[in-house]
Structures are given as C-alpha cells and as structure tokens.
Amino acid sequence: MTDYETIVVDRIEQDLVLVTFNRPGAANAINTAMGSELLSVFEGFSLEPGAARCIVLTAAGSNAFCAGGDLKERQTMTDGEWQAQHLVFERLIRAILGCPIPVIAAVNGAAFAGGCEIAAAADFIYAARHARFALTEVTLGIIPGAGGTQNLPRAIGERRAKELILSGTPFSAEDALAWGFVNRICDPDELVEISIKTARRIAANGPIAVRQAKQAISRGGQMSIWDGLAFEIEAYNRCVPTQDRREGVLAFNEKRRPNFSGT
C-alpha cells in the first residue's frame, strides 16, 4: 500500500483494508494533508471497487478517534483558505458516503465535530466503551458542514439531532447505542479485532451482491417505497448474470463454501 504522512493504510488480508488516522499527538484532528490523503484513498476505492471487499476505519491511540478539523492549522487561515480546505473535507465525506465498498467505523475514542461526521458517513459504527461523540461546531460559530446536519438526523431522528447539534452537547457510546447511531459497544482492546471479524464476514459474501445491496439500502432509503422497490430490482438484476451468482448456487448444492471472484 502507499505510504502516507497522516494516515496508515494496511491490507490486513487480501480483501480487507484497515485505514488508520495517524495524528495521535493532535487527537487525530484533520488537517489539510489528512483530508487530502483520505480523499485520495476513498476516491481510489470508488474508481476500483474490486480492490477490497470491506474497509475498517479507526485511529491511532486510545483517547481520540478524531477531534474534527485542526483548529491550530486553521487559526491563521483567511476566509478563502478556510473554504478551500473545507472543499476537500466536503469531497471526502461524499467519497466515504459514495464508496461502493462497505465501511465500518471502529471509533476508539472521542469523535467530535468532523470526527463524528466521518463516523456518521460510514455504513455502521462499532464504538469503544469510553468513546464519546459530539457535533460541537455551533460552539465555534459555524455549523456541521461535512454531513452532520443530514446524517445524524437520519440515524437518530430530527428532534434528538436538533437538540445535540444546536447545543453542541457530547453524548456517550451508551447513548449512541440506545439511539441507533452505534451498532455495538466493545471493550477498547477488542474493538478493532471485532470490527475486522465483521468485515471478514462481509468480505466472504459475493462482492457484487454486497455492493448492490449497499446501494439499494442507501439510495432506496431516500426514495418512496415504490421507487425504492424499483431501485432494488435494478440492483437485484445486476447480480443475476454474474459468475458469483452461479457459484453461490452451485456451492450451496455441493454443500461447500462458495469461492466468489467478484465477476
């Protein structure tokens, strides 16, 4: 894998990739370099969806998943420089949301502001027991601008999201689990291992089918039920002529595990 300045990208198995924020001394805050490197990684997966079957996104250290935008770097920025940097962050969130490969966020500490927004952009979240979340932008005189005002309400409901976003109040992993924002709480030393175990299970399934199912859920959920059903059938029909569909049925009848090729 490519060497990066602010992140680490490891192919831990043939079809599994672990992406790690690697600025623990800065609470893994996102500076321009990190935003650009993450954007390059996720846009790369969109251009080459067969390059992996599942991605786990986590962070170095044990205290912070990501503290959001690096305010030390932003301190001297002009308005134009701030907006130019934020354009990178906007594209990053869209790249994560649009990534055809499933993304699991393994949140190992505080996920505040942009860090919370990145977690929210993943397909689902596993969190360490001590993890905390917050969208604190209004305390800085701005608003969430990397999907927070859209993804959080879709996950936990509009009224609760308004309470959290308008007050900037942090919430715990337990709250996040109860509200449906987090799928599972893990002991810190088991978080990545458990996330990889789930990623491995996803990767063992037909990759074309997984990508089509992800698209049907993500996009269909924004449609009427009738449009969503039509979209689902389009996604379903893309699986029918594949070698993987034939292999899955053959393996079932031969009572063996399928060997999916992604074709």
d(CA 245, CA 251): 10
Q: What is the pLDDT of residue 149?
A: 96
- Contact between 61 and 28 under an 8 Å Cβ cutoff? The reply is yes
The ranges of the chain annotated as CATH 1.10.12.10 are 207-253
pLDDT at 105: 98
The predicted structure's pLDDT at residue 138? 96
Question: Mean pLDDT per segment of 10 residues, for the chain of length 263 residues?
Answer: 89 94 96 96 93 96 93 92 94 96 97 97 97 96 94 96 97 97 97 97 96 94 93 94 94 94 91
* Interior angle at CA 259, CA 258 and CA 263, nearest 5: 115
Secondary structure percentages of the chain, helix, strand, coil, to 5: 50, 15, 30
Please tell me the distance from the alpha carbon of residue 7 to that of residue 40, in angstroms, as a whole number.
Answer: 11
Its CATH architecture, for the domain 7-203, is Alpha-Beta Complex (3.90)
Interatomic CA distance for residues 229 and 78, integer angstroms: 47
| pLDDT in the model for residue 1 | 62
| DSSP state letters, 38-86 | HHHHHHHHHH-GGG-SEEEEEESSSSEEE-SB-HHHHTT--HHHHHHHH
User: Tens digits of per-residue pLDDT, 161-189?
Assistant: 999 999 999 999 999 999 999 999 999 99
Tokens for 9?
A: 């990208």
Return residue ranges of the chain for CATH 3.90.226.10.
Answer: 7-203
* pTM of this structure: 0.93
Q: Which residues are catalytic?
A: 117, 137
Given CATH 1.10.1530.10, say whether it is the number of domain 207-253.
no
> Tokens for 56?
């786990």
